[in-house]
Structure 1
Amino acid sequence: MKIAVVAADGRVAKKVIAEALQRGHEVVAFGRHDINETPAKTYIKKDILALTKEDLQGFDAVVDAFGAWTPEALPGHSTTTAHLADILSGTNVRLLIVGGAGSLYVDPDHTTQLVDTPDFPDAFKPLATAMGKALAELRLRKDVKWTYISPAADFQADGERTGKYILAGEEFKLNSKNESIISYADYAIAMVDEIEKGQHIKQRISVVRA
């Protein structure tokens, strides 16, 4: 398959690129750095908001790995997702979003999200709120083949690649050890599995270490 990874300079993006390449897929990385620091052989320096429909033609899937943490940059989660949805509107190109855990529901009625629970760290609430807003806006799009993939609450950059994960849905899930944890490497496996299988169009899914 031919896969585009945008905001490719981040650590999650690099893991996704490496996983896809290992499986024999063709990957083009789009990033803002002057030098290609990703595993991809083809790197194009271009900001997400500068991407055009023509840039993403011919791809089977686009992975949006955008991340922002400073208060002034947090609205970028909505604007970048909306821009990618706009330029992929009406096409067969899939849009897969590297999401957050804060918007996962903790009740079967889906009225309370993880971000709203008492133990959710205050420091991460602005980020979780911004990412949750982007997801809510994405849900309104009927013209895009999107999939939003939430990691476990403890999303570990340097965690081991176990090769195993539990695929879940909208609700916050713990594994058999009562943990909500996954490494970037195992998350990347789940992302590329989803790209290959394409089973969750216009859905949010989540993953946790098995």
Structure 2
Amino acid sequence: MMKIAVAAANGKEGKLIVEEALKRGMDVTAIVRSENKTTAKKVIQKDIMDLTREDLEGFDVVADAFGVWDPAKMYLHSVTLKHLADILSGSRTRLLVVGGAGSLYMDKIHGLKLSETPDFPKDYLPVANGMGQALEELRKRDDVAWTYISPAAVFDPEGKRTGSYTLAGEEFTVNEKGESYISYADYAIALVDEAEKGNHIRQRISVRK
């Protein structure tokens, strides 16, 4: 039975990842700062920054669903991800990161990011830049079996669970209607699929409907 821990499990995406993993019969542990609000029975009640190497021993996968919106706290994306990578360094535990769409590339030569395009919403720039910086730092790690999973441009917390998605790579893609969309629920399916398969070690991938 696969053992998975979900960091920031009380968040909207974290809860759905917990639910999806439990549906598949996985051994799931929620990592939460406060009272557990997920469906997981096993809990580590700690701030991410207080987690130790010993806390995460024995897990096949750690899913990092951490996110902040306060522009003054964007540095926490890098700080928390580095801490998780540090305590997983050299272990066989894989680290799956709930990433952002802003860092997806708009061209084959990877010279332009979605967040750098003229129509990118200014309100989302801080989080796009914060998460993008964390990704760039993660790319330098060859001591951790990480996978960074970017959602579509429209990442819908209230969207339906359809059970299907399209897997893509580093470049921004759209569906046949020209849309870049994924629900939180379908993203959770994609992440747990990746947890099961482990096909993209030290790679950034992306998912959309």
Superposition TM-score tier, normalisation by shorter sequence = over 0.9
Q: What's 1:53 paired with? A: 53
Q: How many angstroms apart in 2 are the aligned matches of 1:141 and 1:44?
A: 26
Equivalent residue, structure 2, for 1:32: 33
SS in 2 for 1:72: helix
What amino acid maps onto 1:80 in structure 2? T
2:23 corresponds to which residue?
22
SS in 2 for 1:63: strand
Letter of the 1:187 counterpart: Y
Counterpart in 2 of 1:85? Answer: 85
CA distance in 1, matches of 2:97, 2:204: 9
Instruction: Identify unmatched segments of 5+ residues in structure 2.
Output: none
1:200 equivalent to 2:207? Answer: no
Judge which range, 197-206 or 35-44, deviates more.
Answer: 35-44
SS of 2:72 mapped into structure 1:
coil
Aligned length: 208
| Counterpart secondary structure, 2:14 | helix
Query: How far apart are 1:189 and its partner, in Å?
Result: 0.3
Please list every run of at least 4 consecutive aligned residues from structure 1 whose deviation after the TM superposition is greater than 4 angstroms: none
Query: What's the % identity of the aligned pairs?
Result: 62
What is the TM-score of this pair, normalised by structure 2?
Answer: 0.99
Unaligned runs of 5+ in 1: none
- Return the TM-score normalized by structure 1: 0.98
Alignment deviations for residues 114-160 of structure 1 (CA, whole Å, 9 cap, x no partner): 00000000000011000000000000000000000000000000101
1:32 and 1:73 mapped to 2: Cα distance? 17
Structure 1 residue 72: Cα displacement: 2.1
- Which residues of 2 match residues 1-210 of structure 1 at below 5 A? 1-33=2-34, 35-209=35-209
| Partners of 2:192 and 2:177 in 1: CA distance | 25
| TM-superposition CA deviations, 1:16-54 (whole Å, max 9, x none) | 000000000010001111x21101111221000000000
Distance 1:109 1:36 in 2: 44
